[in-house]
Amino acid sequence: MFRHVVLLSWIEDATEEQKAEVAKRLRDLPGVIPELRSYLVGPDAGATQGNFSFAVVADFDSPEDYAIYRDHPAHRSVIDECIAPILASRAAVQYHTA
C-alpha cells in the first residue's frame, strides 16, 4: 500500500466555516476518485499544544494511483478554493506501508 499523509495549519484569520468546508469538500473526494482505497481526514482534536490544524491520510494501491488523486481536478478545486486561502503551513510524506 502507498500512503499519502499531509498535515496543514491554518492562518489565524481562518473562520470556523472555512475550516469546516475543507473537511466537507475533501470527504466528497472518495465518491469521485475511485483510486482512494481509504481516506480519513479531520481537524486536530486540540489535545496537544503546537499541533498542526488538520490531517489527511490517503491510501492507494500504488504511487501511480496517488498521482491520479494528486492531479485530479476535483482535488485541485478543493485546494484552490478552500485550502489555499487559509493555509499557513503544510507538511507531507508519501511512504510504502507494506
Q: Which residues of the shown chain bind a second copy in the complex (CB under 8 A)? A: 2-3, 5, 7, 40, 42-45, 47-48, 50-55, 57, 63, 91-97
Q: How far is the CB of 34 from a second copy (least distance, A)?
A: 20
Q: How far is the CB of 14 from a second copy (least distance, A)?
A: 15
Element (H, E) at 55: strand 54-60
Q: Which is nearer to a second copy, 57 or 74 (CB)?
A: 57
Q: How far is the CB of 71 from a second copy (least distance, A)?
A: 12
Place of cell 470527504: 27
**C-alpha angle 47-48-51 in degrees, rounded to nearest 5:** 120
Alpha helices in 1-98, H assignment, sequence order = 16-27, 63-71, 73-78
Q: Which is nearer to a second copy, 15 or 38 (CB)?
A: 38
**Is there a contact between 41 and 26 (Cβ–Cβ < 8 Å)?**
yes
